[in-house]
Amino acid sequence: MALKIVKGSIDRMFDKNLQDLVRGIRNHKEDEAKYISTCIDEIKQELKQDNIAVKANAVCKLTYLQMLGYDVSWAAFNIVEVMSSSKFTYKRIGYLAASQCFHEGTDVIMLTTNQIRKDLSSPNQYDTGVALTGLSCFVTPDLARDLANDIMTLMSHTKPYIRKKAVLIMYKVFLKYPESLRPAFPRLKEKLEDPDPGVQSAAVNVICELARRNPKNYLSLAPLFFKLMTSSTNNWVLIKIIKLFGALTPLEPRLGKKLIEPLTNLIHSTSAMSLLYECVNTVIAVLISLSSGMPNHSASIQLCVQKLRILIEDSDQNLKYLGLLAMSKILKTHPKSVQSHKDLILQCLDDKDESIRLRALDLLYGMVSKKNLMEIVKKLMLHVDKAEGTTYRDELLTKIIDICSQSNYQYITNFEWYISILVELTRLEGTRHGHLIASQMLDVAIRVKAIRGFAVAQMATLLDNAHLLTGNTQRNGICEVLYAAAWICGEFSEHLEDPMQTLEAMLRPKVATLPGHIQAVYVQNAAKLFATVLQKHEGETDSQAAQETSQLLIDRLPLFVQSANLEVQERASCILQLVKYIQKLQQKNVEVAEEVTALFAGELNPVAPKAQKKVPIPEGLDLDAWINEPPSESESEDEKPKVVFAKEEPKHYRSRHTEVDEKELARRREVRKQEQANNPFYIKASPSSQKVYDAPGVEHIPVVQIDLSVPLKVPGMPMSDQYLKLEEERRQKEKAERKKKEKKKKREKRGKGRKADSGPESEEDITPAHQVDIVTEEMPENALPSDDDDKDPNDPHKALDIDLDKPLADSEKLPVRTHRPEVLKSPAEDRDSKSVPQETKKKSSKEKKEKKKDKEKDRKRSKEEKKKKKKHKEVEEELLESQPEEAVQSEETKEAAAPPTSTSAEASDLDFWLSSAPVPPAAAQEVTAPSSAAAVDTSSAAAPESEPDEPKDTEPEDTKSSKHKKKKQKKEKEEKEKKKKKRHHHHHHHGDAGGEDSVQNGTVEEEEPLPPMSNYSLLAENSYIKMVYDIQGNHQDESKVVVSVIFENKSDSFLKSMEFNVLDSLNSKLQRPEGAGPHDGLTVPFQLPPGVSNEARFVFSVQSIVMPQKLKGTLTFIVKSDESSTHEKLDFKLHFTCTSYLITTPCYSDAYAKLLESGDLKGSSLRLEGINMPFHHLLARICFHHHFSVVERIDSCASMYSRSIQGHHVCLLVKTSDQTVSIDAKCDEPSLLGNVLDEIKQTFSKC
Amino acid sequence: MIKAILIFNNHGKPRMSKFYEHYTEDTEQQIIRETFHLVSKRDENVCNFLEGGLLIGGSENKLIYRHYATLYFVFCVDSSESELGILDLIQVFVETLDKCFENVCELDLIFHLDKVHNILAEMVMGGMVLETNMSEIITQVEAQGKMEKSETLTLLFICQSMRQSQASRFSSKIS
């Protein structure tokens, strides 16, 4: 056998390998396809051999061919074979090929499950790595389901290389198997604080990706991310987090307020453009989400705009582009701040880079005002001329139209100018946007009554010069404007100077070359013109001219009757017959004009595009019910012509106009008039409307009449420019006039108002040249306002919209490969479900409390709270549903303390975290006292049973001294501790301790928001800086502790280059980066602007933990003020208490009992006198300050447990009677125990 | 998320393609052609971002590319990625290739497609950025390279001993 393999590998020497294949392909440039097909044949032969090396070589070549576009799915099975090779080299080739060509439809994928599982658990980390990488590309729902648990285990692998890959691939698993999200989430969250930066970054990546799709489920993580943001120095991670915050802020405006400060700091301090840009972006998102203004609101905007300006002015095109992109986001909410940079934006229009020009155009859209519209459009028109024959020109054209027509022509003051712009645009050849121009012409002519005369004249000229446009009709989209021109001339023919001439122009034989739908409009409107001409001549009793007109039609129309286009033909023949009949009547000298005009009588009104959809269905109307019995076949035939006719009309009016008969129209008009009369917002065309325009006599303003006979092009100067000049003159005159008037009527009301505006020429001052009556679009009565946006139901991310804060249910566990049925109930679930009833009660009491607080502050906040309450109610209901099963479970654990579910704790945490920030310290102080008092009331009422509730009395020294900042820290700490707890639950799930589960453990202090308690103690302080610190064990490493230090800048200067250094002792050492000497300091990864505080964490390694330690250290920093910078230093002493080596670890009473029985533990005891605090407060303090958890509590006696980082068990039995507390303690390390007890004693002697 | 990573030369010939969503081979080729068409007509000194209705994903996506000598490196990403960050990532990718191949040129990529994929796999996984630290990437790539080498060495050793034994048998036959 071995011989055979070896023989195979010798054969292989003669095979073509990948390099040979590539070389071969390059040498056969002419007949590449043929050469490759012979190669594929060879590969097929190779794949048939038993030798895995040959197969791997073949698969490797297939991967290359796949890139060239050859389908290699036929070799899928061979790829699986190569994947399952025991050699890493081949395995990797196999997985690579699989990742390139496997997908959900590949059927052999189901064969791979076991192989992949084997590779995932391989002792070789690169086998696992390769399998994970491959899996990330072809994971299917089945694979995800079967492997989710294995991958989850890998998330806690010892090697960070595997951990980061496992974390990252979880996203794909979630996508394919959404059920895995909730069980896996706690561990994923845990990885956010992984010591390895790569793993941390991967976890941030995954959560950001998840949160982007369903942000609301991840709001509760905001505090954690906030901490990461302030402590991380990895720009990749920062960018991701900052982007995530951008997605979260719209959901929670309070979060935004909290973010502004750190983001602003980052903007100031970072040198990385990418980070700066994302910060600016998120600040913008925050500012958008903040509806109400905040004090330094405008400062932030200014900062952003100023930074963006720097980006835009940069010579790097990329920065320029991104700057413009971000600028357009600001524009939506703060147009004023952007408008001041108009010069810069206009400059960008000249950029050679098209992407940048397009971005600049987008910006211009939002920058126009009444004042500058004409100027900007003029500039754009210049660019249109320059951009001959590019797609960019089309883009310009649409932008010009967009800019002018935005928000109902809000910025147009002179519609004559706009019409002439549109007419100028028709000179563009080869544009695709003829229909756009046409629809604008129609819209303006219909909706702005005052402009109709002018529009009709312009359109008549257009029709007259139509030969210019029809040169190459089919590919020239611009001829679409003729559609509009013809319709306008026909519909408003009463404004025509010489209808006869226009009629003549419309019936030229050349028209027959236009597209069918345009011809149809020509024919129809020729008839309208005909009616007008008839009416005109009838008054003059000049039958000759009228008859000539009829003759003209009769002569010309047959051309259209022959048209191949059905529509044209039909209309033409109808009208032809009509005219013939009229001619007959004319010859008999019958007056026909009135009747003919009646054919086209009636006014058109614009109807909103969605109007039809929004007509509410009247009550009791069932649209599906038959009105009559189903009609017979013959009846339906009668209806047919109607349908055809009905179809034509809407097409003409761009579906704006629904077909209505004459009577209905008249009726509607009546109704509308009535409505308009009652509607105070409707701008009426009556003289009273002058007020609206704020101009005391628009009629008197001399508007220069434009001679309608002026040809389209004024030599040397395009027409719209004329308007620009005229407009300027007009405005100036107006101004002068107004000034005069104001002088006359001093101290009039209006004068006052204007003074407030004070600008030299503010928006309001510009009056439109015309009395413009922009007819608003009609909507049906009681139209439903809801404009439900349609979400894509196929979005895979929809499935991931899962409430992550809800406790896990039994059914949600990941499938684990096991032969034994799971007998043990998971402790977490049990507990969680048990605690539900109390939890909800407490929640509501807390809600009340918070509401009270809010009422005192502001109403707006309380509204939010109410909303939240509603949400909670829903949760409550949901939870109540699951109660029956809980009842059974809870029997055995009646007296147990109920630890909180993460739902309420986190939700309230978030609330607390968020609400604490914006409150000024003084206010916070005021508020806490009454609110906590309220908490006592409500909760004692709600929960009369003697539960180990948290200490509710506020600790006076804490509240007074620490203000709100400290509270925040404490919350953060709690958060940390909670996480820790969760981690431990995990150990119970997966570790062997699971057998001893009981429901009775858990820390007490988290049940309800505690009165402010903080483990942070003062480290050192001088006039510049204050440092407080807290030490915590690192449960992942038994010899490490983490010291979190909060630096607070107390001065008015900028603190930078902070360096933290400690004199190591034999026992405890500061962990320094590789390469640093033992006496080098650590740079604090941030700078501190005045008044800002930030947290940094330092890792220390310790050897013995049985004794408390003190380390001397120094912080050096540079104080930078405007004038000078000085070097300062601050000495401190870090006190490592034995408590800080303890980690809150839950323990179940059975395990606890066994531990005590084992007899390995040495005892010691302690008596405290004169403690007059409630027992549960006492417990809470021990839990909080000394990292213990309550195992069991009976009346005034409780057992508690904790573990040191090196695995020492510490057990306490706490009893109380009449102000005396006795603590019996046991531990396997007596000196550690003694020190811990001393520290507990100290804690209680302080109060 | 990164949707696709494409490398092609100045003539649009694909040198490496990695799609993080499934497409048929034909569509893939079409995407490469279309992308090349868009990218190649841009001047050297314009910005490195492109929006547009591409085959991949539509308007939410962006093309971020860099042009090095004869090669275009194009990343197609959605809105969750930072544009400048991806540009840096491309730079890291190219520098890593340069380190691993010692003065990388187009030919290296042509003849060692598998190696390029392996390097990329240490940077981007399933469309998400895995590692951006170049030294870490190189360490992992080299460690795997060593493993591969040791495996092939043992194979070669067996071959050699085989040959020797064959040779000795042959010589014994002669004698």
Q: Per-residue DSSP letters for B7-64?
A: EEETT--EEEEEESS---HHHHHHHHHHHHHHHHTS-TTS-SEEE---SSSGGG-EEE
State the best of A318, A325, A329 to mutate against chain B, taking most chain B CBs within 10 Å: A318
Summarize the confidence of residues A134-159 as an average pLDDT: 91
- Of A157-161, A780-784, A885-889, A977-981, the least confident: A885-889
| CA–CA gap between residue A779 and residue A613 (Å, rounded) | 10
pLDDT class of A203 with cuts at 50, 70, 90: very high
- Please, how many CA atoms are within 13 Å of residue A13, restricted to the half-sphere of its CB? 10
Whether the CB-CB separation of A457 and A756 falls below 8 Å is answered with: no
Tell me the pLDDT tens digit for each residue of B41-86: 888 888 888 876 566 666 778 899 999 989 999 999 988 888 899 9
- Select from B136, B89, B145, B118 the least CA-distant residue to A198: B136
Q: Give the pLDDT confidence score for residue A177 in this predicted structure.
A: 92
Cα–Cα distance between A240 and A246 in angstroms, integer? 10
Tens digits of per-residue pLDDT, A792-807?
556 667 777 777 766 6
The CB density around residue A798, as the number of other CB atoms within 10 Å, is 13
Under the banding of pLDDT at 50, 70 and 90, the label for residue A675 is low
Q: What residues of B are in contact with residue A198 (Cβ under 8 Å)? A: 130-131, 133, 136
pLDDT at A812: 64
> Of B28, B88, B121, which has the smallest distance from its Cβ to A274's Cβ?
B88
Q: Residues of chain A with pLDDT > 70: what percent?
A: 67
Please write the tens of the pLDDT for every residue from B115-162. Answer: 999 999 999 999 999 998 999 999 999 999 998 888 877 767 776 776
A357-386: average pLDDT = 84
Higher pLDDT, A160 or A862: A160
B 21-80 near A (Cβ less than 8 A): 22, 24-26, 28-29, 43, 45-51, 80
Task: Count residue pairs from A and B with Cβ separation < 8 A.
Answer: 153
Closest residue in A to B156 (Cα–Cα): A9
What are the structure tokens assigned to A452, written together?
Answer: 């109709």
Partner A, chain B 115-154, Cβ-Cβ below 8 Å: 117-118, 121, 125-133, 136, 140, 143-144, 147-148, 151-152
Q: Which residues pair with A1070 in a beta bridge?
A: A1100
Pick from A67, A322, A353: CB nearest B46:
A353
- Looking at residue A821, its amino acid is P
Contact criterion met (CB < 8 Å) for A6 and B126: no
Higher pLDDT, A267 or A896: A267
Tens of pLDDT, residue by residue over A1128-1183, are 888 888 888 888 888 877 777 777 887 877 777 788 888 888 777 778 788 888 88
User: Which residues on A lie below 8 Å from B83 (Cβ)?
Assistant: 274, 277, 318, 322
Instruction: Answer yes or no: do A198 and B131 touch at CB < 8 A.
Output: yes
pLDDT for A431 equals 74
Average of per-residue pLDDT values in chain A? 73
Q: Residue A724 corresponds to which tokens in the numbers above?
A: 């620009």
The answer on pLDDT for A1020 being more than 50 is yes
Task: Flag the least confident range among A302-316, A431-445, A1006-1020, A1091-1105.
Answer: A1006-1020
What backbone phi and psi angles, to 5 degrees, belong to A1102?
Answer: -125, 150
**A835 — phi, psi (to 5°)?**
-75, -5
Of A365-369, A981-985, B8-12, B117-121, the poorest mean pLDDT is in: A981-985
Chain A residue at shortest CA distance from B17: A67
Distance CA A73, CA A80 (A): 11
Chain B nearest CA to A67, separation (Å)? 6
A136/B49 Cβ within 8 A: no
Is residue A363 within 8 angstroms of chain B, CB to CB?
no
pLDDT digits (tens, 9 = 90+) for A946-1003: 444 444 444 444 444 444 444 445 455 555 444 444 444 444 444 343 333 333 444 3
Q: Which of A22, A236, A353 sits opposite B132 (nearest CB)?
A: A236
pLDDT confidence of residue A1083:
81
- The mean per-residue pLDDT over the stretch A817-841 comes to 43
Q: Are A601 and A665 in contact (CB under 8 A)?
A: no
**pLDDT confidence of A577, banded at 50, 70, 90?**
very high
Using CB atoms within 10 A of its CB, is residue A994 exposed (0-12), middle (13-18) or buried (19+)? middle
Inter-chain touch A67–B151, beta carbons under 8 Å: no
Quote the pLDDT of residue A359. Answer: 84
Arithmetic mean of pLDDT, A210-233: 86
CB contact (8 A) between residue B126 and residue A171: yes
Instruction: Report pLDDT for B65.
Output: 93
**Which candidate from A68, A96, A274 shows the least CB-CB separation from B117?**
A96
Instruction: Evaluate whether A259 touches A249 at the Cβ level (below 8 Å).
Output: yes
> What are the tokens at A15?
């095979």
* Candidate ranges A79-83, A362-366, A841-845, A913-917; pick with highest mean pLDDT: A79-83
Q: Closest to A318 (Cβ–Cβ): which among B20, B43, B84?
A: B84
Average pLDDT over residues B10-36: 90
| Residue A623 Cα distances to A201, A380, A612, A780, A781, angstroms | 57, 51, 15, 18, 19
Between A744-758, A926-940, A1216-1230, B76-90, the lowest mean confidence (pLDDT) is in A926-940
How much is the pLDDT for B118?
93
More confident residue, A254 or A178: A178
Distance CA A625, CA A1206 (A): 78
| Length of chain B (residues) | 175
Q: Are the Cβ atoms of B131 and A164 closer than 8 angstroms?
A: yes
- Residue of A62, A67, A106, A128 to mutate when probing chain B, most B C-beta within 10 A: A67
Q: Are A318 and B49 in contact (CB under 8 A)?
A: yes
Chain B residues near residue A353 by CB distance under 8 angstroms = 43, 45-47
User: In chain A, which residues have their Cβ closer than 8 Å to the Cβ of B130?
Assistant: 164-165, 168, 198, 202
Q: What is the pTM of this model?
A: 0.58
What is the distance of C-alpha A9 from the center of its chain?
56
Q: Is A804 in CB contact (< 8 Å) with chain B?
A: no
Q: Give yes or no for A103 touching B (CB within 8 A).
A: yes
Distances (CA, A) of A739 to A175, A733, A757, B125: 68, 10, 15, 70
Instruction: Report residue A779's pLDDT band, with 50, 70 and 90 as the boundaries.
Output: low
Which one of B43, B59, B84 would you mutate to disrupt binding with A, by most A Cβ within 10 Å of its Cβ? B84
| Tokens at A530, concatenated | 């005909």
Two tokens, residue A122: 């391989």
Q: Which of A48-52, A119-123, A705-709, B49-53 has the lowest mean pLDDT?
A: A705-709
Q: Specify the pLDDT at position A877.
A: 46
Out of A90-104, A266-280, A688-702, B91-105, least confident range: A688-702
Any alpha helices (H) in A943-1064, and if so which ranges?
956-990
Q: Residue A207: enclosing H or E segment and its boundaries?
A: helix A197-213
Answer yes or no: is pLDDT of A482 > 90.
no
Residue A25, pLDDT above cutoff 70: yes
Choice between A688 and A201, residue whose per-residue pLDDT is larger: A201
| Chain A residue numbers touching B24 (CB-CB < 8 A) | 71
pLDDT at A878 over 80: no
**Among the listed residues A1192, A1187, A1176, A1200, the one whose alpha carbon sits nearest the alpha carbon of residue A939:** A1176
Q: Does B113 touch chain A (CB under 8 A)?
A: yes
Separation in Å, CA of B38 to nearest CA in chain A: 12
CA of A1057, closest CA in chain B: separation in Å?
Answer: 25
Nearest chain A CA: its distance from B51 CA (Å): 8
